[in-house]
Structure 1
Amino acid sequence: MAAHAVDPTLETFENDIWWITLIKLVGVFALLLILTLFTIVYERKVVARMAVRPGPNQVGGRFGALQSLADGLKLPFKEEIIPKTADKVVYFIAPVISATTAFTAFAVMPLGGMVNMFGHQTALQLTDVPVSVLVLLACSSMSVYGVVLAGWASGSTYPLLGGLRSSAQMISYEVAMGLSIVAVFMTAGTMSTSQIVAAQASGEPVNIFGVDLTAPGWYAVLLLPSFIIYMIAAVGETNRAPFDLPEAESELVGGFHTEYSSFKFALFFLAEYINMITVSAFCTTLFLGGWRAPWPITAVWEGANAGYWGLLWWFMKVLILLFGFIWLRATLPRLRYDQFMRFGWKVLIPANLIWILFLAYFKVARSGELTDEIRWISTGVIALVVLAVFWFWPTKKKAAPVSLEEELAARPPGSFPVPPIDLQIPPSPRARRAVAERAPATVGGDSESKEV
């Protein structure tokens, strides 16, 4: 662990000079805009590489580095079309809510430790409060209003369905995300983002080839189930593929922002990418040690976390997580909506609750408050309950496949053919005639007829 790193405290932010706070505020705003422009090009180039094609290569050199900037300048000058049935006031407020909450969430995100800024010691974080994590969750909850109001205010059917679907999805997966963070609270003993990063600084000493090294105390390792559930919930929370069901083109055209254009559409687009950056930075803070350097680097370099170096490690971790979002989009197909909601409510949330109970028991057992007899008995009871759940878990038995001849024979007299289910390809007329000759069935005629 770096000896030169100084972790900020809550009093650090109270003592900041006003113009230092103003500089950090403008810096966070500019950072999010630049990261958004970069992430758009980053995503398009990575997806193009995976699809073996060049991607953007016309604006900003052969790498297309300025393509997203050109798109951002073009969108505000496009013609704005507002539906006649739209509620003008709410129609305008909805994208503002989405963009504002996306920017606000970054106010309590730690980007680095203590640095010297114009002769003053300050932290690379805009502000921090004892309940900073709840501030982030509140911003995430408020962003649902922008989505559902945009769908309702458009005065159209498809945006309304997209807004309702998106709000249900965001609320459902926000529950799983919040439960995954509970394990971090229990382990770190605080809800302050800067203090959660500080809690991950210490690790267990490890002896490798006779050299004493300090392993990282990242919660991604110590709380692996919470980390996995958070990553899945983060993809669902940001409406990204394979969970981009509110914007399913084949079903809902463009989702809740179908009727939006020009600058208002740009605000929704901006909010989506900032939310991606926010959940990635939040994951970095909670599970990946925040702005601190990875363990192998800190073992050989004591000053890795000093000064502005923390900003570099933070950027690297966030970009790796953003690459995960892009990789999922280029790899996995979109889920069906009922499968997606069932997975969130019946798999992620119960698994999270069981993991929290297990973690609470483990902490109580390690605290010494339980005697050895009670500890062994309770461990045995938990093991028996787990085995019983797995043993008696109900499983659905697949029905035996029914041949076409049996389906035709089971059809009542005078009935008509039923459309195929699950996109099964119906047999050709020649195959139906051949089957009818072997197993006659009536369709709207007398029992002696053999026509199908």
Structure 2
Amino acid sequence: MTIDLIDIALVAGKIGLIFLVILGLAAYLVLAERKLLAYIQERLGPNRAGPWGMLQPLADGIKLITKEDVKPAGADKWLFYLAPAMAAIPAIMIFAVIPFGPPITLFGREVGQQVVDINVGLLFFIAFSSIAVYGVALGGWASNSKYALLGSIRGLAQLISYEITMGLSLVPVVMLARSFQLSEIVAAQQSCWFIVYQPLAFIIFLISIFAECKRIPFDLPEAEGELVAGFHTEYSGLRFGLFFVGEYINVIVLGGLAATFFLGGWHGPLLPPVVWFLIKVLAFAFLFIWVRGTLPRLRYDQLMHFGWKVLTPLALVNILATGWFIVLKG
């Protein structure tokens, strides 16, 4: 086997492994959420499909695949079918640049534990997270439904607003690491995690990713009491499943990025690096579920006011403070 074929095989293997891990984590994150919410609400969760309900994700997948795929009258066929893929694929693409461990040696060469280690990984993340906006917009507009359209308008305004605060919260991280490359950002935290230097940036980023995932308390685009199911009201079967799975893939990916930017990535004592990274990602996933079970939904005006008039000014002040800190430190 030539060197080129070995490289291709390694990349293909990493892509396949990451894809399977993401889908498996997303499927069982749904089950974990249902179990934890049941515990919070003092009721029984899923416990019929398999031992302790462990086969529930498989049962849900079969149910969605076998359901009828309905297209509303008057819907734009191609855009209606394209929207779910545009909501799920960007999150999977972002995972390609996340390092979940240090480089290892295979076949006599150093192999990074990520699909690609590009020098603009942070910009790659911001660009692809912005593409997910189009899935929300197309899903609502192409459905020919007032509920879906209103949900997509809310979603567009929310995602664009909190993309700005999320991007601004990451500027101090770049200033401290002096790189857009995610592996170098992790390496810069070997002695001290960035959450110690940047607690405000971490809080702003954490709030922003809740809004990016459209999760409580920022689930305005899907508010059941007002909009039925928001921008995916008219979807059923496998296409609804793509929207649904895309949301949980987003939770995993954004949790991984939060760990990468602020919690030292794979760094940690005693345990293997990959295990540390997985623990941090699952901790963020638990936080998403816990918040859903405890907090109410904000009003839409509160959501926009908080993003533009509170988080954005705080993020700008934090950038200036970080600049002064770096200059004074020399």
Q: Shorter-chain TM-score: what band?
A: over 0.9
Q: Which residue of 1 aligns with 2:76?
A: 87
Q: Choose the corresponding residue for 2:279, options 316, 322, 338.
A: 316
Structure 1 residue 120: deviation in Å?
4.6
Q: Distance in 2 between matches of 1:84 and 1:45?
A: 37
Q: Distance in 2 between matches of 1:151 and 1:25?
A: 31
Please say which of residues 45-54 and 182-191 is displaced more in the overlay: 45-54
Q: Which amino acid aligns with 1:348?
A: L
Q: Which amino acid aligns with 2:204?
A: I
Tell me which of the two structures has the higher relative contact order, counting C-alpha pairs closer than 8 angstroms and 6 or more residues apart. Answer: 2
Report SS of the residue matched to 1:17: helix
User: How has the CA–CA distance of structure 1 residues 15 and 312 changed in structure 2, closer, same or farther, with 3 Å as cutoff?
Assistant: farther
Alignment map for 1:413-428 (pairs within 5 Å): none
Q: Which residue of 2 aligns with 1:60?
A: 50
Q: Give CA-to-partner distance per residue, 1:57-105, whole Å, 9 cap, x none.
A: 011212x112112101210110111111100010011111112112111
Say if 2:159 is the partner of 1:176.
no
Alignment map for 1:296-445 (pairs within 5 Å): 297=269, 301=270, 304=271, 309-367=272-330
Q: Choose the corresponding residue for 2:249, options 274, 277, 281.
A: 274
Q: Which residue of 2 aligns with 1:4?
A: none
Say if 2:155 is the partner of 1:166.
yes
Q: Choose the corresponding residue for 2:221, options 216, 228, 246.
A: 246
Q: Which residue of 2 aligns with 1:44?
A: 34
TM-score, normalisation: structure 2? 0.96
Cα root mean square deviation, aligned: 1.4
Structure 1 residue 237: deviation in Å?
0.9
Q: Which residue of 1 aligns with 2:143?
A: 154
Alignment map for 1:224-263 (pairs within 5 Å): 224-263=199-238
Say if 2:112 is the partner of 1:123.
yes
Structure 1 residue 260: deviation in Å?
0.4
Structure 1 residue 361: deviation in Å?
1.4
Q: Which residue of 1 aligns with 2:100?
A: 111
Structure 1 residue 116: deviation in Å?
3.7
Say if 2:13 is the partner of 1:23.
yes
Unpaired stretches in structure 1, ≥5 consecutive residues = 1-13, 203-216, 368-452
Q: Which amino acid aligns with 1:33?
A: L
User: How has the CA–CA distance of structure 1 residues 57 and 282 changed in structure 2, closer, same or farther, with 3 Å as cutoff?
Assistant: same
Structure 1 residue 363: deviation in Å?
1.3
Q: Which residue of 2 aligns with 1:71?
A: 60
Q: Distance in 1 between matches of 2:108 and 2:65?
A: 40
Q: Which amino acid aligns with 1:52?
A: E
Decide whether the 8 Å contact of 2:27 with 2:245 is kept in 1.
Answer: no
User: How has the CA–CA distance of structure 1 residues 15 and 355 changed in structure 2, closer, same or farther, with 3 Å as cutoff?
Assistant: farther
Say if 2:201 is the partner of 1:221.
no
Q: Distance in 1 between matches of 2:210 and 2:246?
A: 15
Report SS of the residue matched to 2:217: coil
Q: Which amino acid aligns with 1:350?
A: P
Decide which structure has the larger Cα Rg and report it.
1
Which structure has the highest helix share of the two?
A: 2
Q: Distance in 1 between matches of 2:257 and 2:79?
A: 30
